[in-house]
Structure 1
Amino acid sequence: MQATTPNRKASKILVCDDDLMVRVLARECLEAAGMDVIDAEDGIQALEAFQSELPDLVFLDVEMPGKTGLEVCAEIRALPQGMNVPVLIATGAEDADSIDRGFNAGATQYKTKPINWSLLSRDIRYMLRAAEAFNELKAQEDRLRYLAYFDHLTDLPNRRSFNEQLRRNLIDGHKRESLTGLIVIDVDHFKRINDSIGHERGDDLLRNMAVRIQDALTQIATIISDYPGAAVTADPDSLAFELARPGGDEFTVVVRNPASIEHLADIGNAIMESLNDPVEIQGHALVLTPSIGAAMAPLHGQTPELLLRHADAAMYAAKADGRARLRVYDESLEDDAELQLQLEEDLRDALDTGGLRMMYQPQIDTRTGEMCGVEALIRWQHPTLGAIPPDQFIGVAERTGLIRPLGDWILREVDADARKSGSNFPRSVSVSINLSPIQFGQSNFVSHLTQIIKQLDLNYTVELELTEGVVMTDAEHNLDKLRQLKALGFKLAIDDFGTGYSSLSYLRHFPIDTLKIDRSFINDIGTPDGDGIVRAILGLCHALDLTVVAEGVETKEQALFLADHGCQILQGFLLGRPMPVGDLMAASEQNYLPLITDSGSSTQAS
């Protein structure tokens, strides 16, 4: 049987042996199997042929004049293009030491002489297939690792990279007794702009903004010469910037060794000026105005958390002052701390008086169109401030120790909803509940959770959702904790997959049932990069036999793409917004196939 198909390029094999008969027999055998053969009679020729021809596999004899096969193998492995090419070494020696030397030199497989020529092409085909599968998985892992550190929309460092940038620069600044600045940039009214021009044009705006800020930063170093004493207080060569996009419409700049607070403010103003000119997006001339906050270490804080909090406070103060301006942090902004204290008191009251409520967002099986699960989402309607976003009040709970009673309340409330609603709560669905990093990190979390579930009537599946960062922090300890949760009967899901470590190792070794693809990747479906990323994640999950949930599905096109590429479960506004428990039965009786297949209407589910 031929090794090639009409659409597949023939595999290229480099055969190196000083025995002419071996080279002739190898060529006849491999060419008969549809492979292309390049031969070399010694190690020098083999290395030259490898670099000029870039073969798919190398067949090497060990004993050759000049360079031995082991030396050639080691030199191939030292080349960037030779790291992953399979190498088959042939030798007459069968002792363990000889075989070990071959593998230590980088051999993929070992074959003893005399060669069984009838099996050689089969063995090489197997090696090529294994190498192809490995390289595909490696490419997926490399891509996901890139996504763990970089924002795929702008190619700037993402939130995780930013956190590491800031921490590294603060440590370095402390050692050098120099200043470190932080600038936070937020686009004014971006949500309104995004809603009016569409997400695709909104993404174009963010890419344009990233380029403008980066261009401005490359020109800003000369500003330092305008400051008296700058040559003494800051070396121009040490002034450096690290731009990042932590998420949404926010950018950050870590400034290493600014001359002064005034210098930091001028850098911020130069960034603002770089964004003044209108942006031409598909025939629309749009003017972006940023609100910018700045803070300086050590004056405004010496830890990443404190410096970021103060730069954020300055940015929000700039918005409150009328937007399109810059504010440098000062102590008058501490009023925000009073608001946080008030929120803490009000959250305690809400826990005691029933001011919180649970909502449930449907999860739809793409194979049947039926509701197979719900995500439990907590909501807080403040009596005077209105709806408080979960990320805001959960942050308050984490900082104040309220996260444990809040987590207990969520579990008990979900169970109470299941009991009191009777037939309105479909028992066939699983319920996903988010775990806070602080909550999961508590030393007695599992034992405390064990006591809670003993008091509940959990005759339905509960899936606990954690982020990648939570799982990978102290991975060895967390592996044991996850196993204990599995033993209690919980399913485990990784939330926002693709934005953290995205490592094959933890997916292989941790007892994970489900991956939830982050909504930022779903938003990019329809673009070449976006489609490729989602396909890579789905391929990885299928290879590891994991269930995949796509979050943030808002269009039928996204649903069709995901269903066509084997995503098992969809969640998003297209299929249903978060709803009270009383509406769940009606949602569970609906069939959603018309929304996720080519037939039927694309009207949003209610």
Structure 2
Amino acid sequence: MKVRLLTSLANRLTLGFTLLACILVAIMLVTLHHSLNRFTEDTIQQGKQQLAEALRAQLEQDAQLLSRTLSSHLSIPLYHLDLSAIEKQLSLVRQHRSLEYAYLFSREGRLIHDGSETIPEFGLAMKSLTPLSPEADLHFAWHGRTLHLLQPVMTSSQRSGYLALGVDFTQALTALDRHGEVIGASAEATSENTFNELFLIALLILAVTIWFMYRFCRHQFAPLQALTEKSIAFGEGDRSVRFGVTQSGELGLLGKALEQMRLSLEQSHRQTTQLAYLDNLTQLPNRHWFQQSLERLLELSRQNQQRMGVVFIDLDHFKEVNDTAGHDMGDLLLFEAAARLRNLLMEMDISAPDTEEPLLARLGGDEFVTLYPDLQHTEQLSELARRIAQTLDEPFLIDGRYFNISSSIGITIYPDDGNSSSEILKHADIAMYAAKQSGRNQYAFFSMQMNHQLQQRIETIQGVRTALDQGHFHLEYQPVVDLSTNRIRAAEALLRWNHPERGLIPPGLFIPVIEDSDLIEPVTQWVAQQAVRDLMTLQALKPGFAISINISGAALHQESTRDFLTDLKQREQVPDYCLSIELTETSMIRHLDDCRQTLKQWKDAGMNIWIDDFGTGYSSLSYLHQLPIDGLKIDRSFTRDLKPDSSNSLVATVLTLAESMQLQVVAEGIETDSQLECYRRLGSRYGQGFGLYRPMPYNDLKALLETTDEVHTATS
């Protein structure tokens, strides 16, 4: 019988639980008994303490009341030094058995009266009779069970003496101690009775619990075994397992918990997958999702012999938003751009064949990509690109500010432009760069020629880095001439690249690449430093001579460029208004508020601000009133259209406008005598162009300034 009892798992569990329960109950009862005793002791102690504090507080109030009352009765007699009246008042107080002493001191702290007839301690100092020292108001202190009080006696708001009282409260406090002992004995008896009752209840609960545990193990072991088998199957990968059981109680809860765990694991798996394939900022799918989707749709297109388009989108001028408004504002703009693109694709019903979700992803930074499955006509991609450009070209209102960006879009088609996903995406990226190089805010289809252009761009960027490191750059200067006196007044610094193998590189081949890369800042700083060094040398030859440098839109909105130019002028002690900054209209208007702050800083530092290529940018001229501008440089396209026998009203209008706003004007692109005469007749003060002087090295400019101030006559 004993062996059979122990071989049953249910019985062994019951026996083990019984032993464990007995041990736990014993520990609980011991702990409870100790806790009750500790609680009773703490309660008694706190009760005694609170009663003592309350009694002492009441005794202090009574003693203070006695002190204040007696001091008010003694104020007049003390003032008149009426010892009989003082004795009468103090003797009445000394009748109390609990009063140890009652002293009346003079203002100097000498004893005047103690309520006795002989006053044996008359004239003694206060510190020898009472432990308290004089203060501005009543104060008191306990010494043992005696309360000492010292009360100033006031007569007509003047202190005339002090009243000292010593009250012995031994009798009251002793009675309080006896009362506390009675309360403690009663509390201990109550605690003992409570423990006995809890002990009996614990034994009863233990017996009932053991019985129910026995029944539980007998009836619930089979479902537990089933849950165990299901758990093993689930762990081996069987996702059809469900852990729900019909039993209630702990096993039912265990089944529910296992089922919830299964659901949570599946949900966690879905969330992990979502995090792996979702962009946190825009809530669009990320590069990983796009790679898998592109592979899947390419395979589907192969099987169905379909064409598919890939549209690569890059936001133009997004870096300027980050530089001028901060990355938080840039993140908000990216989120809004993503929402616009998603809504557009939903509106055009361009989605995945199986999920009907828009095939749009953010690859990183300001780059997005979308897929066009089952492409029927190339014009469909052109229409999509036009709609994307139109959508992103609309101003963004973010946090009360308007931002203008555009997009450069590259398009590739499977299988026309490649077969693998990496090849297709690479060609879309190349096409996007081609669109950006063509002037931005447009789209371009991939062609094999673009591969060569991309390679040229990479070689140009590498060459520019080498040129900066090894000194292959130099500056040439094109003079600006006063048309009324034929004297050279200033010069414009122009960057030139003398390649050690390819010779002189045309500026149009490398400057756009620099402006569209991270090299714009170091190149701008190099040009500024070199121009300032040359300018300071020329100041000794021709004081007041000015040199202008061109600042691109990419560098204009960089705070580092703004501060660098300001610090450079101050550090090199460049004379005021001898260093000029030339900017294009487009670069200023794109972020007018931030540009205004930059130009103001340069203007305050003593630099001239000129608008280059005036007339080719924005039609609105309101910004001329908003920015600290010194002059305009009329674009060479207006110069080419000049005719001697015409009114040339457009150029005349610009000159009239500049004169009314007190702005200087430089006519660019003067190449012929007829153009020169037209500008002189129209009243232009300054001119610049090949017909006057071609760009020249610094040494040639210096030699020219040393020999002559006369301008060469241009040929027709």
- TM-score when scaled to structure 2? 0.40
Relative contact order (alpha carbons < 8 A, sep ≥ 6): 1 or 2 greater? 1
> Which is richer in helix?
2
